[in-house]
Amino acid sequence: MVIGAGQMGAGIAQVFAQTGFEVKLNDIAEQSLEKGIATIEKNLSRSVKKERITEQEKSDTINNLTTTTNIEDAKDRDLVIEAVVENMDVKTKVFSQLDEITPEHTILASNTSSLPITEIAAVTNRPEKVIGMHFMNPVPVMKLVEIIRGLATSDETYKTIEDATKSLNKTPVEVNDFPGFVSNRVLMPMINEAIYTVYEGVATPESVDEVMKLGMNHPMGPLTLADFIGLDTCLYIMEVLYEGFGDSKYRPCPLLRKYVKAGWLGRKTGRGFYVYDN
């Protein structure tokens, strides 16, 4: 089961269903489930058009998916992956419920991009079976999955999730449980520093992105990427890093805070460091 039918949750459900897993996609809102399934169908249709998969494979994937608004339907699952909002209170509530509902053997995984797996695991009676599976966005395209061991995560749980990740044609990378793991601990300070260069008048967003694309061979500039991720998410992860390490190098740029307060969150709101149509 995948909990949360947003962009990440729908993507995770899709890659598991495409590989032959029987997947329940869960969300508290029926509308979110409908949107999630519509996104999956759109992705699959695009793949058929590009001849990456056949019409039969698309049909098989859809048949492997069911939707539910009832978390109690996790009672027969071997693996549950949580992909809800990046908020510790929400996540621990979900894990506490899942611990009560699911069989003893069930592995509970979180798609968190920065929150401590050890803290999430602590609200359950099975911390050895709690692990982080941090997929990258967009999930169907990106190969990396950071697998995060909590303090108590067992070797058996790690091996099971590593094998499952490989079966999805993804590349698992083992990471220990520290704020931001590897991906966001390296990426977010770079994005934050790019924002500081705009804040301090060193260069325009366009210039910063051009330097990083042409000079460092990045496929996308850091400010374009920040808009794609969502500036609210970037700010939240910077705050997790700042609080987790207590180091001033992780202090979020005041301009990032200002944009988030203004509701300029990037692509999803039509405005961030750039302006977007639709």
The pLDDT tens digits of the residues spanning 42-55 come to 999 999 999 999 99
Is 268 annotated to bind ligand?
yes
Examine the domain organization and report whether 92 and 212 are in the same domain: no
**Chosen domain end from 119, 141, 176:** 176
Is 132 annotated to bind ligand?
no
Boundaries of domain holding 260: 183-268
**Chosen domain end from 176, 211, 244:** 176
Is 20 annotated to bind ligand?
no
Tens-digit pLDDT profile for residues 211-262? 999 999 999 999 999 999 999 999 999 999 999 999 999 999 999 999 999 9
Examine the domain organization and report whether 172 and 200 are in the same domain: no
Does the residue 74 lie in any domain?
yes
Catalytic (active-site) positions? 113, 134, 146, 184
Q: What is the pTM of this model?
A: 0.91
pLDDT of residue 10: 97
Region at 21 (left for phi over 0; alpha for psi -120 to 50; beta for the rest): beta
Is 49 annotated to bind ligand?
no
Task: Determine the Cα–Cα distance for residues 63 and 6; give it in Å rounded to an integer.
Answer: 20
Examine the domain organization and report whether 154 and 43 are in the same domain: yes
Task: Determine the Cα–Cα distance for residues 225 and 266; give it in Å rounded to an integer.
Answer: 9
Name the domain count of the chain: 2
